[in-house]
Structure 1
């Protein structure tokens, strides 16, 4: 008997999905599966529900929601043998897309039933996990403004990006990787495990979830016209060709943010503040058993 726990965010995708307990159970015969469905009620509730599912002996735990729900559930499964499934019903769905998990709910549930598993790399920022990407530059400012808008739509993201382009103030940073140390003044300092951010956009199209490396992309502070030019490179997924770009694949990056004791960071599309200026980012190879 396979014990599957579904952790469902009922308001993901504006709450328009059909992920009821009765619907989910139609895909998993009771003779083979024991299915439990949990509904999240608040931010970080999925973490508590994942711990509960582990205590109850789950062999598969499925995150049904957007990037935030997926991040919360996956965080508790790093380094464990419990398999991780995704039903993407959020707005961005970057990690699910990179894993070739379909947006159609019925197809995603069928995929979970087949249980094809890969061992996926996970990123670590001062011990906190990320699965898609994280960043210290303008992307963190964009996410901060995007969250303040209260609307999880592509249009809201674009408005946040345009506002951030006008208001962003770069911070001096010292970056070390592969034995080299550089002082940088970045518009964008982006570190990725995945080749997609969501909404089919990518800053690191060469990134892989299984290569044991992180993709580091730094774009220095540039004028608005060059920012627009960089945006075109993003659209055609050729960011590493932009002449001002510093791009490398590596397993560990150290970042010191100078003259700034408190700093905002985006992690998997969520904004966090840290009371430190020192950050260590590294990859934990093949540490998440994900169904894809």
Structure 2
């Protein structure tokens, strides 16, 4: 008997999400499977529900939502034998895209039943896990404005991007240690990725791999407004690397220090997060999560 628990974010993506028990019973017969559906009621509620499911001896815990919901569920499963399943009903669905998980509900459920399990790497920023990406600078500001809009749509994302571009001249100096080299700079963007997808079919690190034991790092220095606009346009067609100012690295760890502030504004898997520390240390945990994918 396999115990499968579904952690459902009812307001992910366009909202009004539900899982019909009749549909679940169609895929998972009561002889071989025990099913539980647990809707979230507030931000971070998925963490509590996942912890409850772990205590209830779930074999598979399925995150039904976007990258934020997946992060809350998956963070509880790092270095455990419990398998993560994903039903992508969020706005971006970056990790699900990298794992080739279909958006069609029936197909996603069939994949969960089949249980083709992959071991993937996990990123860690101080005491926070990430599975797709994290970053400081421009991308964190985009997420901050995107969340303030309270509408998870592509148009809201575009508006948040334009708003962040207008404020892109307010850069903070940081000291970055990467592959043994220390650099002081005022970066427009430092983006660290475990996945080759951000969502909406946008990628800053198209060569990133979920299971190579490395993180892909994109550093964009301070640029003129024209160069920033050009970078944004090139990013949409995955050609941003042709700008000579753009740096691309692979690493197992990176340290970022700032001396003029006691906090970092970051994004982790598409969720804005304030880190109350002058230093952030980012590393990779090799193949630390069991996840269903293709």
| Shorter-chain TM band | over 0.9
In the TM superposition, residue 16 of structure 1 has moved relative to its aligned partner by 4.3
1:262 maps to 263
In the TM superposition, residue 19 of structure 1 has moved relative to its aligned partner by 1.7
What is the TM-score normalised by the length of structure 1?
0.98
How many residue pairs get aligned? The number is: 292
1:11 maps to 11
In the TM superposition, residue 241 of structure 1 has moved relative to its aligned partner by 2.5
User: Where do 4+ consecutive residues of structure 1 move more than 3 Å?
Assistant: none
Q: Does the aligned pair in 1 maintain the 2:121–2:284 contact within 8 Å?
A: yes
Q: Does the aligned pair in 1 maintain the 2:256–2:281 contact within 8 Å?
A: yes
1:152 maps to 152
Q: Does the aligned pair in 2 maintain the 1:205–1:238 contact within 8 Å?
A: no
SS at match of 1:155: helix
1:178 maps to 179
**Structure 2 stretches lacking a partner, 5+ long:** none
In the TM superposition, residue 18 of structure 1 has moved relative to its aligned partner by 4.7
Output the CA distance in 1 between the equivalents of 2:39 and 2:237.
39
2:23 maps to 23
1:225 maps to 226
What is the TM-score normalised by the length of structure 2?
0.97
RMSD: 1.1
In the TM superposition, residue 185 of structure 1 has moved relative to its aligned partner by 1.0
Cα distance, 1:276–1:18 mapped onto 2, change above 3 Å: closer
In the TM superposition, residue 183 of structure 1 has moved relative to its aligned partner by 0.9
2:285 maps to 284
Q: Does the aligned pair in 2 maintain the 1:68–1:269 contact within 8 Å?
A: yes
2:244 maps to 243
User: Aligned ranges for residues 86-105 of structure 1 at < 5 Å?
Assistant: 86-105=86-105
In the TM superposition, residue 11 of structure 1 has moved relative to its aligned partner by 1.6
Alignment deviations for residues 108-160 of structure 1 (CA, whole Å, 9 cap, x no partner)? 00000000001000000002100000111111111111111111011101101
Output the CA distance in 2 between the equivalents of 1:122 and 1:239.
25
